[in-house]
Structures are given as C-alpha cells and as structure tokens.
Structure 1
Amino acid sequence: MPPSPTPVVVDVEQGSLSGDSQGGVDVFRGIPYAAPPVGPLRWKAPRPVPAWRGIRTATANEPACPQPVDPDPSVPNFGGVQGAQSEDCLYLTLFAPANASGAPVVVWLHGGAYFLGAGSLGSYDGTANARDGVITVDVNYRLGSMANFTHPALAAEGDAEGTGNYAMMDAVAALEWVRDNIAAFGGDPGNVTIAGQSAGGGLVTGLLSLPAAEGLYHKALIQSGSLLRPDRDEREASEAVVKALGDIGLGADASADDLRSVSAQTLVATPSLMRGFYFTTNAYNPNATIDALKAGTEQDVPVMVGTNAGEGGFGNARIVADLAGDSGAPAFLYRFDHVPAFRQAEWTQGPVHSAELMFSFDSIDTSSWGGPDADAADRALAEKMQSCWTAFYKMPADSRAIRCADGFVWEPYGAARQAAIFETDGPAMAPAADLPDGPEETASN
C-alpha cells in the first residue's frame, strides 16, 4: 500500500487550508474562490469568500455545479459527472510541487458544452504537472442557465455588469484568487496560463477579449474550443429565456424572486433551459473575441491552440493561430493524431473530442478514458505531450519557441504556417494547410 498522505497547511487571504502531501505533490481540494452563488446571489457576479477561523480541511472535492445526471449515481453523464451536485459549487482543486517557489501556474477550465462537467475529474489530475514543476488550478464554474441567463426582472436590478456571462465572471474571480493567493502555494502570479478544452476552451477564447481579465494571465491555451461565433445580443438572449420559461409556467412578468425560487433541478432538467443561452454582449463583455482578433485588440499573449484529428474545428484553430499570432506574441498550432491501440475499433477516423486530455495531462491512470488498457506507446506519448504543455506553461511570455519532448522544437505558426502533429512516435512539424478541418464527414460540412 502507498504511504498515507501527510497533512500540509497553507495560509490564504481568507484563512488556513489543510491539504494532503504525497510523493512530492501537495493537493488541495474544495478550495472556495467565491461565495456560494445561491439565494439572492444566483445570477449575480461572484462575491468574495468570507474569512473563516481555524483550519479548513481541503482534502475532498465539493459537489459539481448543477447539471443533468443519470438517476443511477454510479453512471456518469456525458461530462463525466455522477452523483450529487450543488449550486454551492465555486471551488478549486490545486496540485502544487511540494516546497515550490516561483512555480508557473495553469488555471484549467473544464469542458462540457457549457452545461456539464467539473474541474475535479480525473482527466484533469495535475500530479504530473506538479512533478514537472507546474501548479495546476482546476476550476468549477457555473453551468447552463445558472451561467448564461438574462431576463427583464434581472436587468431591472441594475447590476453594473449587466446580466448573463456568469461563467466568465467566475473564471475572472478564479484568476483573481490566483493572483492574490498563489504565492502561498509557491506559485508565480506573474506567470499564469489560462487553459481549457471544449467549452473551457471557449471560455478561454472569450477571456482573450474580456476587459475584466486583462493582466490576470500571461499565456492562453485553447484545446478544441476555438468558438469564433459572435456573442449573443442581450435583448435576443432575454427573449429566448422568456420563451423557454414558458415550459415551466413562467414568462416575462416573472419577478426576480420568482426566478430565484425555481429549483436548480428544474433548470437543469428542462430541455429548453438546461444548456443556458451563451455569452451575451453587454457592458461587462463589450465585444466578441472574433471581432477583437480581426481588429488586433485582443490581449496580446502567447496562444497555443489546436484540435484532434477525429473531430472538426481545425480550421477555426488555424484562424485563431493566424489572427492571434499575426503580430506581437506568437501562436502555436497543434493537431493530436494518436489513436490508442485499445481504441482502434472505435476511433476509425482519428482521435475523437476529448481524446487528448489524458495525454496533455499525462493522466492516463486517473482518467476514465485510459487506465490499464493503455500500452507502453500511449504512456510514452503522454510523457512527451505533457512535457510540451508544461514547457508552454513555463516559458517566458516573450519566447519564440517551445522546447520539449527530448529535443523537439515547436516553432510558432507564423509565416511558415506550421503545426505540431502529435502522432504515436511523438511530435513533428508539418504544413498546416495540408491538414483538413476534421474527418471527412465533418470537413465536408
């Protein structure tokens, strides 16, 4: 049996936290980064966490944010979540090298189509990152209609931020928590990468042009999340909400108290409401990232972006790399091409959506996608790929290349229009123009 973890205590602004230290890695679970967004704080910007007295235990994950789950608590949903959820869900999971000092930080935003998932899932285990000298902060953020929802009664409350975009606000609150507290864990608040996959990558895309996020991060990573559609007009979003509320017997005349009295279970179980209503354009979120990229007004930080060969979206990733790296900080484009031997019968057109996660985190043994089925080739590639991701987290913001995987030099997309291809034997550079958007049926759409 492995040795029992040793308690480790860290003081943050709100009080003391007790986590576990084992094998050179300190792990803290269930760290609150904002007050519970419940009752009158539902559909409000995140509020500060009240200070606590004594030592708060941080060794277990708190419940995921409300989302549709299987009635059988042993069966995960499509976002990997099973069992209980709670609106009180704004928590972090943190993996840090023991006795770290000045360590780079990655703040991870999970995927799940904006209405599923949690930061505490095994695919996002930051143990390998910590052993490589990087702190990983996995974030829960509000989902579905708790995250993206606007209504005349809420607009009448006159919040300066406007209505909607609560997941974006949560991401900013998590970054502010990192700015204020990460040094206590040995992290460098001046070297923070925001990163995410799928919906989390979409949030990172949004943060590239969000004024409230400026200065809170120094690099950005977008995995299968280059969502370049325009944000939604706030009035249009409100009209869609009012229409959907008719399915539960409410409408435009509902008061803010009426809306906040609707149970979380009702919001996540009603098909027209469960997914939320996407980002809205307002005072808080004045312009969509695609418009900022075209105008050259996005936050000028190094960007890594890419997709998997068995999914669509590489064309959008290439657009992001082109526009984000056209001047100033570089952009690095990738495509993940490896299909594990045990998935050959299923993934006949290449690795599917989310397949890269257990490789970019080197989390094969904690991910539900891997475990004992993985072979030596999978494990060797995971070690190489994760080394490239941590090299990006570590590199200075003015670096012009990523050096990783035992001598591989990952050049910027730049004028050469090259991408790093992660195949079974490891990464290699290739012309991006030769790579299709995805498998045939996706690329032809």
Structure 2
Amino acid sequence: MTRAIITLLLATTGFGAVPLKAQMPKPIDPVTVETDAGTLRGSRKGGVLVFRGVPYAAAPVGENRWRPPQPVEGWEGVRAATAHEPPCVQPVDTDTTVANFGGVNGAQSEDCLYLTITAPDGAKNAPVLVWYHGGAFFLGSGSLGSYDGTANARNGVITVSVNYRLGALANFVHPALDRTNPDEPKGNYALQDAVAVLEWIKANIGAFGGDAQRVTIAGQSAGGGIVTNLLSLPSAKGLFDKAIVQSGSLLLPDRPKAEAERMAVEALETIGIGADVTGDQLRGISAQTFAASEPLRAGFFFTADNTFKPTSTIAALRAGTEADVPLLVGSNEGEKGFAGARTFASLAGDEGAPAFLYRFDHTPAFRTAEWANGPIHSAELMFTFDSIDRSSWGGERADETDRALAAKVNSCWVAFIKMAPGARSFACGNGFVWEAYQPGGDVALIESGGLRMAPADALPDGPEEAGAPREE
C-alpha cells in the first residue's frame, strides 16, 4: 500500500486531521536473537538493544489458570519483539487516560507472562539485573518508564523486566483446585512465575550477551517482596548471585493454606459463588471479575506449601538457611520501612555474604511542596534506573541536581551488580565507597549532593504519616 493511498484512507475515515507521521511507527533498526523457543526480532538504537513482549511461559489461561507456569510453545519464523504486550489483569480507571496506583491504564490481559530485555549491543558475558515491579501484588507492569534499562545497558548491564501474575490470579488457593493436578504446588503463582523467569534466563540470556552466573534479582515494594521470598525458595537456589530489595522488606510469616482457603471461599461469596464451586467453574470466572472485586482483587499471599514454599524468609534468615548472597536493601526518608530494612540487613549480613543498607533522602525541587516529609514510596526509582526522561515522575521538571544524582545512584546500583565475589565494599558515585552494614554500623545516605555513610541506628523508621503515591 502506497503512502498516497494510506493518506487517502486516513482522510476518508475521519483521521485526516492527524499528521500521517504521527500515525505510523518509525522504522526500526532490527536485530535478531535465537532463543530455545524460536527467533526474536527486537530493535537497536544508540548502542542499546531492546526486546519487548518476550514470552517466558505459556499463557496462564483456561486450564493453565492457577497452575505453575508452563513452557512456551515454539513458534515458526521470526517473532516480532518490538512492542510491549498488555500488562496482567488489574483494576483500572474507566477513563483510560488515568493510571491506577500501579502506573497502569488501558487494556490488560490474563495472557501476560512477558519480559522486556534491554542489553548493550555486542555484549559478552554481561551481568544481568532481573527486575520485579511493585504494585501491592495486584497492580503494575514491568514495562513502565521508570524501569527503563537504557542507562544500565550503557553501563554494561542487561536488564530483564518482568510481568508476573497479579491479585487473585497469582495468590489464590481453594479446595476445589486441589482435585485438579493434585501433584502440583498450589498458590504462590507470582513466585512460581518469578522462578520461571530465572530458569528462562539460565537457558536463554547467553543469546543476548548475558552471563547466567551473574544474575542480580531486584524489586521495589511488592517486587521487593518477591525478591525477599526468592531468598528462601529451594527452586530458586543457584539461579542468582545477588539481591536488591527497595522498600519491600516483607519479613512476614507465611499464611497457612487453610486460612487462605477460608478467605478465598468467603471472598467468592461476595460475587455469588458458593463453597461448592468446582475447579472448572472457578476457571470460568472472567479475569476482569476478579480484578473488579475488592475482596478478591489483591489475592491472599503468601501461602505455605510443603513442596514449593516450605519456609518463610524470616524463618530462613533466623535459621541461617537463606540464600547466602550479597544483599542491597533500604527505603526512602518519607515512608515507613527503614527499621525493617535495617533488620533485614542485620539478619542477612550476620555471617557469610555482606549486606549493604541505604536510605534515599533526596527530594527533587519540583516536589518539595508535596513531599514535606521527604521522598515518598517509589521516589527513588527514576534515580536507581537513571530514567528521569522516561519516567512520568521526572522529565522536563527535573533539574541538574536531579540528573547528577541519578547518574551517581545508578552507578552505585551498577557497581553492586558488578561487585566481585567476596568483596565487602564497592566504589561508585564519583569516589564514594559503600561499606557493608553491621549491626550498630553505618547506612549509605543518598542525599541531594551525593552519598555518604552515617550511623544507621540514629535514623527513625519513617515519618508519622507516609505517603502512598502511584508507582510509575
């Protein structure tokens, strides 16, 4: 079809007032890789490769709903990986221009187990960051602008940003489901997705220039909770060598399965579903119905399971049986959670691999009126990723102080990811040396002028009233 014909069609269908250039995607510089399921075609720009909408598991729909992630079916030919697939099903505003508190608006899909991979062009044995997004376990998406991996790629790190199942489609157990596939673990499907990603990376990241032996798992808020739990999962052991937990130190006991089943049965009654419902009938309920139901939408996490989740991470930390890998953990000045991060660092770094503790204290000038108690939940994201121009939190409103600090903070996250085995400190941020935390020791304060070490015990847990912004 010629450009003249396209122009005529736009004009005759009422879209002629919109310039043609705004309607058509720009040509890409294509790049292909071979995965174990088939060939992917992504895009290359400025020395950075991006592959969007990369499947790591089969669609968790129909009979695959509430099952462990199933293998991706291979495809013929070359599969386009230049556009994001829809995020997982979650409650959104009826006004599709308004984002929910997870930063998502518009269409979603139960078919959502996809990755975004951002890599340096020509990478060889590059370290890998696996990113699990936040959103209270029932909101969010791995493809948001704050999580853009371009800066990481330019600093030699591959970023793999993850969509995992949300809400009641992720954290749900019910007596009727026990009768289907009785040998499979029940519940904790988001965590099962998280492990499936690491298994996919082990098998495929070499095709993107990555080193499967140098994998850092990281997440913020609910994503930090995912990482916290991965530290004690037997099936995740050996699939990562470092961990980052940003405002997500969820050191909680697991919920007994019987309690989670009772909660699910009672919540289903609010939408007219009785206790005698069958597994097939549960799978017949639309995904949107679960997301729209306030008693059901968040799911019931995390559930004890003898085969998949035999212990909680807090119990593993106290017993010294957690994955012994370096941990970077912290929170923001304007939110609660620093005490939990300090406890996490104390328990994780008490023997073996070190822990590194931070608090993010920088408030951008354009946010001072809103953030009277300091930077709030999620405020650090555009700094740790150095993604100011791609995040809805920053852009043109950010100033040179913000941009300089973002470069420093991102350099510290990258330095931790690249840190040599056995190291107990690392240098970053134009001369800053980040020392491992010990109980009664120092925290890395991230301030407007840069980073410095300061006594951790002198810092409060957070302000009396912590904010609850969107995670964008």
Q: Which position in structure 2 is the counterpart of 1:274? A: 297
The separation in 2 between residues aligned to 1:420 and 1:5, in whole angstroms, is: 41
SS of the counterpart of 2:457?
helix
Report Cα offsets for 1:307-366 as digits up to 9, x if no partner.
Answer: 000000000000110000000000000000000000000000000000000000000000
Rg (Cα) greater in structure: 2
- Pair 1:160 & 2:160 matched: no
Q: Which position in structure 2 is the counterpart of 1:307? A: 331
For 2:97, the aligned partner's letter is S
Contact 1:233–1:280 (CA<8 Å) still a contact in 2? yes
Offset at residue 441 of structure 1 (A): 4.0
Report Cα offsets for 1:202-239 as digits up to 9, x if no partner.
Answer: 01000000111001110000000001111100110000
Contact 1:106–1:193 (CA<8 Å) still a contact in 2? yes
The separation in 1 between residues aligned to 2:466 and 2:405, in whole angstroms, is: 26
Q: Which position in structure 2 is the counterpart of 1:87? A: 110
The separation in 1 between residues aligned to 2:194 and 2:368, in whole angstroms, is: 36
Contact 2:363–2:375 (CA<8 Å) still a contact in 1? yes
Report Cα offsets for 1:49-87 as digits up to 9, x if no partner.
Answer: 011111000000000000000111111111000100000
The separation in 2 between residues aligned to 1:319 and 1:35, in whole angstroms, is: 38
How do 1:24-423 and structure 2 match up within 5 A?
24-283=47-306, 284-414=308-438, 417-423=441-447
Contact 1:33–1:48 (CA<8 Å) still a contact in 2? yes
For 1:339, the aligned partner's letter is T
Please, which runs of 5 or more residues in structure 2 have no aligned partner? 1-20, 468-472
**Cα RMSD after superposing both structures:** 1.3
Offset at residue 396 of structure 1 (A): 2.2
SS of the counterpart of 1:11?
strand
For 1:328, the aligned partner's letter is G
SS of the counterpart of 1:119?
coil
Aligned length: 442
SS of the counterpart of 1:93?
strand
SS of the counterpart of 2:265?
helix
Q: Which position in structure 2 is the counterpart of 1:20? A: 43
Contact 2:356–2:435 (CA<8 Å) still a contact in 1? yes
The separation in 1 between residues aligned to 2:364 and 2:95, in whole angstroms, is: 30
TM-score normalized with structure 2 length: 0.92
SS of the counterpart of 2:296?
helix
SS of the counterpart of 1:262?
coil
Which segments of structure 1 move beyond 4 Å, counting only runs of 4 or more? none
Contact 1:161–1:282 (CA<8 Å) still a contact in 2? no
The separation in 2 between residues aligned to 1:250 and 1:152, in whole angstroms, is: 14
For 2:207, the aligned partner's letter is A
Report Cα offsets for 1:110-161 as digits up to 9, x if no partner.
Answer: 0000000000000000000000000000000000000000000112224434
Report Cα offsets for 1:269-293 as digits up to 9, x if no partner.
Answer: 0000000001100121111100100
For 1:429, the aligned partner's letter is M
The separation in 1 between residues aligned to 2:184 and 2:241, in whole angstroms, is: 24
For 1:180, the aligned partner's letter is A
Pair 159,213 (structure 1): closer, same or farther in 2 beyond 3 Å: farther
Report Cα offsets for 1:151-188 as digits up to 9, x if no partner.
Answer: 00112224434311000000000111111000000000
The separation in 1 between residues aligned to 2:293 and 2:372, in whole angstroms, is: 35
The separation in 2 between residues aligned to 1:441 and 1:171, in whole angstroms, is: 32
SS of the counterpart of 1:436?
coil
Contact 2:88–2:141 (CA<8 Å) still a contact in 1? yes
The separation in 2 between residues aligned to 1:277 and 1:414, in whole angstroms, is: 34
TM-score normalized with structure 1 length: 0.98
